[in-house]
Amino acid sequence: MRTNLKVHLALFMVSLLYGATFTIAKIAMPLYIKPFGFILLRVIVATVCIFLFHRVYVKGKLPDKQDIIPLIISAIFGVAANMLFFFKGLAITTPINASVLMLNTPIFVVIFAAVLLKEKMSWQKISGIVIAAIGALMLIGGYRLKFEEATIWGDIFVSINAIFFAFYLVYSKKLLVKYHPLTVTLFSFAFGLIMVLPFGLNQALEIDFLHLPFTIWLCIAFVTFGSTFLTYVLNAYALKNANSSLVGSYIYLQPVLATLIAIFSGKDLLTLEKFTSMLVVFAGVFLASYRKSI
């Protein structure tokens, strides 16, 4: 299979997993698991899975001493801080506000990529990102976006998360060129685990594991393994083989896939407005990513 096709499949799978997370995570949180406790579970399970896969499949070298600090920085922006800010912000603001503010991520990816990696930004790529953003805003009801005093700190936290994750997507690119994606992801999560432990330990200890319904265990398995372990590994693979702005542009597919999942699960209805919005998003992502080679 050609590398560029593998990259697009990896990014589509990331968007699909994240899109499903909005529906699945809400089943368990906050009734059975509080946000920071869930984050700690995510990072623990992902770290263990990545470690096991790394031992079996990766024969590459361990990071050099001079790369430890960059890996710690990746852990701060890509694992610890971005997860904590997002979950804390989501608890304060509205889902619509959070969804709209997260769409800033690809824009900041373009900015950071141009500054840090000197990536060339063509009018085609910029136009595609703008078109996809418009479609995503139409889909998630951006017209209902309201910034109010009660939600302002949540809006700020989600915005910080969007900036942090964008920085991670660009900053980790140089490490991924040098090392295997699993190696970079493993050390990012190992350092990230140390950072989130103080925030999530008490909430994790409050979880009544003995009396959790089977459906909640399935939700935990999906969020920890699927939307954490798999998404970070697939994102790392894509970043190693494509530019950061392409990876960032796929974020616009998340509300599309989340909507489709809600429709197929009977929790939403497909309307002409939603269908049109999805087509706009797909057109924008295609325009932003289309090129003869990656």
DSSP 194-211: HHHHHHHHHHHHT--GGG
Three-point CA angle 112, 113, 119, nearest 5°: 150
In a domain, 191, yes or no: yes
What mean pLDDT comes out for the span 119-136? Answer: 74
Determine the residue type at 101. L
Residue 275 lies in a domain: no
**The predicted structure's pLDDT at residue 29:** 78
Q: Is residue 261 part of a domain?
A: no
- Domain presence at residue 170: yes
Predicted local confidence at residue 207, as pLDDT: 92
**Percentage with pLDDT > 90 across the chain:** 26
- Residue 177 — very low, low, confident or very high, per pLDDT cuts 50/70/90? confident
Q: Tell me, what's the pLDDT at 294? A: 41
Find the domain containing 150 and state its range. 3-119+141-241
Residue 218 belongs to some domain of the structure: yes
Mean pLDDT of 170-175: 88
In a domain? residue 173: yes
Count how many domains the chain has: 1
In a domain, residue 281? The reply is no
DSSP 77: I
Q: Does the structure show a pLDDT above 80 at 214?
A: yes
Q: What is the per-residue pLDDT for 73?
A: 95
* Whether the model pTM is above 0.95: no
How high is the pLDDT of residue 26? 73
